[in-house]
Amino acid sequence: MSAILNAMANQPWLMMPDRLEMMAKIAKREHDVEALAARVGSKLDNTRTVEMRGSIAVIPVIGGIYRYANLFTEFCGGTSTEVLAKDIIAAGDNRSVSHIVLNFDTPGGQAASIAENAELIRMVSQKKPVIAYVDDLAASAGYWLASACNHIAASKTAMAGSIGAVYSFRLYDDGSEKIEIVSSVSPKKRPDIKTDEGKNQIQAWADKLGEIFVEDVAANRGVSVDEVLQRFGQGDLLIGSDALDAGMIDEITTFEALIAELQS
């Protein structure tokens, strides 16, 4: 009996039986060692967030998206587009990296630098495959970035979309009243919003940003602007198979199955 198995047999455990059995199988080397190492991953040199799974660089796009690293990105799991861009470039330039997987679980974030990061993703994808994996949510700015990848995969329950731009204004310091101006290309992005005629200038800003967003998504996905407007949710979120049927994503799978497929 190995030292690990001996320790397991002679120690009390506070663990569900299936997890304990899995540990025993690992100790007996019933799991492939290389497969286990691939699941654990290792950090890519000269990057902040990149984890290597064999030759595949996995880059998280998790939480709110902000232009610069701040308290949200450091302590609340957010994503800085500044850090994201540097990590994508580093992975793209590293000869040991065969594929780049952007792992999305984000409600979106600031509009600043999103178009530039999407263009960067497209440039890097000309050198090596860049795949988006939507674990739970790729909304708004997150979907803009995902749409720039060569391929978008998602879990069965993942949500993608919320295309459009929003300007939000709090009327009082305590946040008791808020007005939001939503781009006209996304009527479903904010249900029951308050609007008034005095915000026409801000509406024009939101309309322009929303128009750029739709045009970029259409170009990234190889479809017409009309198809994005009609089929990509109009600002709504589409779940799993609905997003697949609409052409917003390319595949429904699990993260580990995607990694295994790319490694093969």
Q: What is the CATH number of the domain that holds 80?
A: 3.90.226.10
In angstroms and rounded to an integer, the radius of gyration of the C-alpha atoms of the chain is 22
More confident residue, 204 or 173: 204
- For residue 1, what pLDDT is reported? 46
The reported pTM is 0.71
Task: Give, in degrees to the nearest 5, the angle at Cα 203 between 199 and 208.
Answer: 155
Beta strands 178-182 and 166-170 are antiparallel
Residue 247 structural domain = 3-263
**Number of domains within the chain:** 1
How far apart are alpha carbons 189 and 182 in whole angstroms? 7
Is-contact 147 104, C-beta < 8 A?
no
Confidence of residue 166 (pLDDT cuts 50, 70, 90): confident
Least confident of 18-32, 146-160, 176-190, 241-255: 18-32
261 sits in which H/E element: helix 255-263
Is-contact 76 64, C-beta < 8 A?
yes
3-state secondary structure of 46: coil
What are the angstrom distances between the C-alpha of 113 and each of 66, 101, 127, 179?
A: 9, 20, 22, 24
Mean pLDDT, the chain, whole residue set? 81
Question: Quick check: 173 pLDDT over 90?
Answer: no
